[in-house]
Amino acid sequence: MKKMHAVLGCAVAAILAGSAAWAGSKYGYPVFIDLTQKKAYGTLGAARNSTDAVQLISCDAHAYKDGTRRMSCSAKNTSGTYVYCTSTVAGLVDSARSISGDSFIYFEWDTNGECTYLGVGHSSEYAPKQL
């Protein structure tokens, strides 16, 4: 009887462990660009893992020896549309520095190519990059 309970307990644990591996919401946001509203977004993982070999989205933070800090963001969608913006606004530079390898990036720019907004998301929902 005790063996039967132990076997049943192990079976239930195995089933729960197997289902836990598939649990949780998962989203990949391919690179999206809206030239009219001057915005772009996507997850690094979805762009990297795409089969089209065209998509990209990135933001970089730069620091210069004179103390100047700058950031830049760029994106290219599956159609090959490419956008780029840059800024020296401290808050935007800080946001660019917070990006991790599997972040969601959303940025906006103005007619001068200056970044006006940068949102960075970190979530277990975002697919990680695969090598």
Q: Show the domain range for 62.
A: 27-121
Phi/psi of residue 92, each to 5°? -70, -40
Tell me the pairing of strands 82-87 and 69-76: antiparallel
**Cα–chain center distance at 37:** 20
Does this model's pTM top 0.75? My answer is yes
In a domain, 92, yes or no: yes
Looking at the domain assignment, is residue 128 inside a domain? no
CATH code assigned at 40 = 2.40.50
| Domain assignment present for 98 | yes
Question: Which tokens belong to 36?
Answer: 């009219």
Mean pLDDT by 10 residues, the chain (131 residues): 44 42 75 98 93 95 97 98 98 96 94 98 83 64
14 occurs within a structural domain = no
3-state DSSP call for residue 93?
helix
**What is the domain count for the chain?**
1
- Let me know if residue 21 belongs to a domain: no
pLDDT reported for residue 23? 58
In a domain, 32, yes or no: yes
